[in-house]
Amino acid sequence: MENKIVVLITGCSTGIGRELCKILYNKGYTVVATARKVEDLKDLPAALKLPLDVTKEESVHKAIKEVMLNFHKIDILVNNAGYSVRGALEEVNVSDVKSMFNVNVFGIINMLQAVIPEMRKRKTGKIINIGSISGKFVQPINGAYCAAKFAVEALSDALRLELSSYNIQTTVIEPGPIKTNFFKTLAENSNSVISNLNSCYSYFYQKDSKYRKKQKQADPTETATTISNIILKEHLSSRYKVAVPFTYSMITHFPDFLKELFMKNI
Burial 181-199 (b: 16+ CB within 10 A, else e): ebbeebeebbeebbeeeeb
Listed in sequence order, the DSSP H helices in the chain are 15-26, 57-71, 94-101, 107-122, 143-163, 182-194, 202-214, 220-231, 246-251, 256-265
Residues designated as active site: 145
Cα distance between residue 167 and residue 184, in whole Å? 39
Handedness of CA 17, 166, 60, 183 (dihedral sign): negative
Whole-number Å distance between alpha carbons of 234 and 6: 15
- The CA angle 208-89-35, to the nearest 5 degrees, is 75
CA distances from 45 to 13, 48, 92 (A): 12, 9, 38
